[in-house]
């Protein structure tokens, strides 16, 4: 797909982060956008930002409340889109919504594990199922599934249990790579890409915590406190003398630095993704850190989960997220 003007794009998780920036850049190129999120407030802000510039006549930006892990919500989103965008087709599908957390079989509950897995994997799978018919009706279509560097490397450092997110992101990568052939065989006018971002400056750390805990508060749950203590121990910090309040403060600073001190911004990431689609890439790595990690894992797969591998990679790219 060489340009987006006059097309219709669906974006899941359009409320903040990369989803928001994708919406803004698509609208700036004259593309109609229908987004969903669990936060109406966040989507209203995305819409406002999209409308700051004068929109081409007739361009539509619609917002829809839907949890991507629930098929009924996605179907309702699709039906609302058909009505509000006055269309029976879409051209672009960005399965972008995702959260972290819930990564341990020991210190997290099953509900937390499955929440992350069902959003990050189920949301992508159900997104494709739900919108495939509308993509089929377009003259050309493109499915963009967001995985992560955790789709080829199942870790964020040795102090962190990361099974739910990694399992989901590997699934997204495997599914999208296999989908290429399924599309070639059965719907050659539709292409797909898997997006694998490195560290991107978004509020995913605090958003994930809030969604996992079902609260708008930034307070850590018992599980969060335990996970944070493990994470700090993993980087050699003795947390025994620290109170829960100390841990809470460190977690808040960490969520802020994750957003504000990332090597790649959400806007830069969205541009890389959109340029990748235009260039016909099926494999879109986002950020120098993602490219370097991809190389390292291929060079030394057997050593990928050793402390030294992480430490030397983190030192090279300046990661402080483990
Ligand atoms: N930020 C990073 O460093 C990074 C790295 C690799 C991959 N990713 C992936 O990129 C995607 C976007 O993440 P981001 O960093 O922009 O995060 P973000 O938290 O800024 O944005 C994600 C959006 O998805 C929404 N969302 C969460 N659960 C949802 C659900 N069940 N249904 C609908 N919407 C939901 C959130 O409300 C939020 O608006 C995610 O899939 C994430 O896993 C992010």
Nearest CA to ligand 1 atom 32: 67
Alpha carbon of 125 to ligand 1 centroid (Å): 16
Question: What is the position in ligand 1's atom list of the atom closest to the CA of 146?
Answer: 41
Nearest CA to ligand 1 atom 43: 98
**Cβ atoms within 10 Å, residue 254:** 17
Pocket around ligand 1 at a 6 A CB cut-off: 12-13, 15-19, 36-39, 42, 67-69, 96-99, 119-120, 146, 148, 197, 199-200, 202-204, 207, 211, 266
pLDDT reported for residue 36: 98
Q: What is the DSSP string of 229-289?
A: HHHHHHTT---TT--HHHHHHHHHHHHHHHHHS-SEEHHHHHHHHHHHHHTT-SEEEESHH
The per-residue pLDDT for range 31-56, each reduced to its tens digit, is: 999 999 999 999 999 999 999 978 88
Alpha carbon of 13 to ligand 1 centroid (Å): 6
The per-residue pLDDT for range 54-74, each reduced to its tens digit, is: 888 899 999 999 999 999 999
pLDDT reported for residue 129: 98
Pocket test for ligand 1, best of 64, 202, 211 (most atoms within 8 A of CB): 202
Which residues of the chain register pLDDT less than 50?
none
Nearest CA to ligand 1 atom 25: 13
Q: What does the DSSP 8-state code read for residue 104?
A: -
Pocket test for ligand 1, best of 204, 211, 256, 257 (most atoms within 8 A of CB): 204
φ/ψ bin of 318: left (φ > 0), alpha (ψ from -120 to 50), beta (otherwise): left
CA 203, CA 122: separation in Å to the nearest integer?
22
Contact predicate 184/192, CB 8 Å: no
Residue 212 neighbours by CB under 8 Å, 6+ apart: 99, 101, 102, 112, 115, 116, 221
Rounded to whole angstroms, what are the CA distances from 320 to 235, 244, 312? 10, 22, 12
pLDDT reported for residue 322: 57
Nearest CA to ligand 1 atom 31: 67
Alpha carbon of 57 to ligand 1 centroid (Å): 30
Alpha carbon of 166 to ligand 1 centroid (Å): 14
pLDDT reported for residue 96: 98
Alpha carbon of 243 to ligand 1 centroid (Å): 30
The per-residue pLDDT for range 244-284, each reduced to its tens digit, is: 999 999 999 999 999 999 999 999 999 999 999 999 999 99
Contact predicate 165/100, CB 8 Å: yes
pTM (predicted TM-score)? 0.97
């Amino acid at each position: 797909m060489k340009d987006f003007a006059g097309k219709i794009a669906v974006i899941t998780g359009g409320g903040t982060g990369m989803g928001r920036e994708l919406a803004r850049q698509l609208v700036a190129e004259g593309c109609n956008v229908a987004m969903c999120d669990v936060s109406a407030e966040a989507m209203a802000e995305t819409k406002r930002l999209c409308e700051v510039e004068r929109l081409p006549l007739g361009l539509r930006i619609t917002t829809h409340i839907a949890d991507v892990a629930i098929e009924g919500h996605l179907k309702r989103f699709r039906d609302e889109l058909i009505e509000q965008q006055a269309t029976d087709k879409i051209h672009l599908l960005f399965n972008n919504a995702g959260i972290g957390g819930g990564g341990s079989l020991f210190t997290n509950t099953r509900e937390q594990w499955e929440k992350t897995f069902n959003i990050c994997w189920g949301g992508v799978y159900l997104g494709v199922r739900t919108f495939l018919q509308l993509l089929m009706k377009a003259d050309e279509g493109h499915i963009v599934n967001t995985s992560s560097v955790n789709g080829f490397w199942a870790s964020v450092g040795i102090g962190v249990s990361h099974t739910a997110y990694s399992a989901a992101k590997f699934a997204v990568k495997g599914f999208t790579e296999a989908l290429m052939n399924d599309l070639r065989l059965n719907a050659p006018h539709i292409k797909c890409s898997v997006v694998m971002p490195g560290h991107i400056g978004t509020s995913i750390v605090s958003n994930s915590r809030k969604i996992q805990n079902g609260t708008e508060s930034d307070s850590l749950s018992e599980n969060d406190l335990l996970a944070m203590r493990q994470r700090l121990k993993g980087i050699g910090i003795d947390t025994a003398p620290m109170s829960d309040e100390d841990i809470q403060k460190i977690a808040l600073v960490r969520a802020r630095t994750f957003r504000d001190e990332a090597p790649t911004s959400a806007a830069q990431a969205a541009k890389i993704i959109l340029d990748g689609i235009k260039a016909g890439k099926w494999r879109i790595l986002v950020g120098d850190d993602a490219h370097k990690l991809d190389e390292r894992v291929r060079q030394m797969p057997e050593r990928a989960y050793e402390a030294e591998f992480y430490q030397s990679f983190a030192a090279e790219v300046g990661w402080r997220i483990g």
